[in-house]
Structure 1
Amino acid sequence: MNKESISEIVNDNTSKGGRVFDIFIQTLIVLSLIIYALLTEPNISEEWRNVLHISEWVIVVIFTIEYLLRIFLSPKPLKYIFSFLGIIDLLAILPFYLAIGDLSTIRVLRIFRIFRAFKLARYNNAISRLKLAFKIAKEEIMLFLLVSAVLLYLSAACIHHFEYEAQPEQFSSLFSSLWWSVGTLTTVGYGDVFPITVGGKIFTFFILIIGVGIVAVPAALLAEGLAQARKIMAVENGKHDDRAHHKDVT
């Protein structure tokens, strides 16, 4: 099997071999996450714990082979290594190897195994559309985040002005007031800190109305971006199918 054939299996999920490879890796990702969850169970028997550890070894070895193959097959290996997906692929296996021989670090590094969940991003078209949607709406989202940061600051300053004398412990500074601002503007409202003055209550009323927009605006931007991303990917897939059909004919 030559390099081109291997690349078709590893990188081209439109081919039969590529689809089988993708399903195989996705299955291993899910299994590794289940194993991670089971290993946190305190009542699991030592025999089953050993089976799970061996299974994880096998999965990590396969992930390592996949990672090395992607470096080998990439036309620009360094670009892949430092790309988002390349870093995720590395983080999915690196903690396991770092923990070998040093039992004191196992518990610390074990949490990083959850990065394997992000490997699913490579094999999911919906996640690809989501990434493209963020790229399309990037400028609008950045502007919205800037406006939100300003609103958070202003609301914290105002509520501190209204509530400081009545509740000096809860609203001792602008920074402590930011906790209230975040909870109120995002409409979460934990209820641990709340205004008791008339001015603070009236101000909170208007902040709650603004908070609805804080939640709705990014959702609308993302929805529009997803709609555009779906159209773009549909056009690209159509072109890919045409090229594949032409290749089969020739």
Structure 2
Amino acid sequence: MKAYIKSIVETNDNKLSRYFAFFIQALILISVITFSIETIPNLKPQTKSILRSVEWFSVIVFSLEYVLRIYVADSKPNFIFSFFGIIDFLAILPFYLSFGVDLRSLRALRFLRLFRILKLVRYNRAMNHFTTAIKSAKEEIFLFIFITLILIYFSAVGIYYFENQAQPEHFSSIFDSLWWAIITLTTVGYGDVYPITVGGKVFTFFILMIGLGIVAIPTGIISSALTKSVDKKEEN
């Protein structure tokens, strides 16, 4: 029985397992849609009743799926504390926490229901390639993040010394300057904080050039890793 359930729940090489996967994917999408509909103000009581029924049904199915995956797992602790195990748990947690409690006081916890959409990753081959690519390029990504953090701090220090006296209300400290550094290096530039001194403007020009490069680097790293992942899959 355990092997039979495992062939349906975990593998995707038979008709029943494919039907199961499609059913779970459809239920995830329906659940996400109903979550969005719940935010519409002044819903009719009938609509709220339907949404509650859909939520009950979804949670029952997701809970049963979670229990079955624990049951068929070769190592139950490894599954429970794995990425997908945690996602499956967080997807049903808000519902059970809401028993006997005013949902308005647990409003933030309701957003945990959005973790259900991450359950789709399990059934998506393209996302599996992406996950593999991220894992293979994790050292390069961590190095990129480390260098980026250094550049953000360097930018905050630089603009602080250029603009502090001219704009003490915006650049009163290096910590306040970090906001400008982040939006400039990411090339977002909201325009709420900007340099007015000549030195600050020249410094900003160079930071913007560096920011353009920073945006392109992770794209190249992940694209290269994705290409390698797909090529290995085709070879196998």
Answer whether TM exceeds 0.5 for this pair: yes
Q: Distance in 1 between matches of 2:234 and 2:171?
A: 52
**Cα 1:80/1:66, change in 2 over 3 Å:** same
Could you say which residue in structure 1 is the equivalent of 2:89?
Answer: 90
Could you say which residue in structure 2 is the equivalent of 1:103?
Answer: 102
Q: Read off the aligned partner of 2:183 and give its amino acid letter.
A: G
Could you say which residue in structure 2 is the equivalent of 1:160?
Answer: 160
Could you say which residue in structure 2 is the equivalent of 1:120?
Answer: 120
Could you say which residue in structure 2 is the equivalent of 1:66?
Answer: 65
**TM-score of the two chains, using structure 2 as the length reference:** 0.97
SS at the partner of 2:156? Answer: helix
Could you say which residue in structure 1 is the equivalent of 2:197?
Answer: 197
Q: Distance in 1 between matches of 2:71 and 2:232?
A: 30
Could you say which residue in structure 1 is the equivalent of 2:42?
Answer: 43
Are the counterparts in 2 of residues 96 and 109 from structure 1 also a CA contact under 8 Å? no
Could you say which residue in structure 2 is the equivalent of 1:242?
Answer: none
Q: Which runs of 5+ in 2 are unaligned?
A: none
Q: Read off the aligned partner of 2:197 and give its amino acid letter.
A: T
Q: Read off the aligned partner of 2:10 and give its amino acid letter.
A: N
Q: Which runs of 5+ in 1 are unaligned?
A: 239-250
Q: Distance in 2 between matches of 1:4 and 1:234?
A: 29
SS at the partner of 1:129? Answer: helix
Identity of aligned residues (%): 49
SS at the partner of 1:14? Answer: coil
Could you say which residue in structure 1 is the equivalent of 2:225?
Answer: 225
SS at the partner of 1:167? Answer: coil
Q: Distance in 2 between matches of 1:25 and 1:67?
A: 12
SS at the partner of 1:108? Answer: helix
Q: Distance in 1 between matches of 2:187 and 2:17?
A: 45
Q: What is the root-mean-square deviation of aligned Cα atoms in Å?
A: 1.1
CA apart distance, 1:106: 4.2
Task: Give the number of equivalent residue pairs.
Answer: 235
**TM-score of the two chains, using structure 1 as the length reference:** 0.91
Could you say which residue in structure 1 is the equivalent of 2:129?
Answer: 129
* More divergent stretch after superposition (60-69 vs 34-43): 34-43
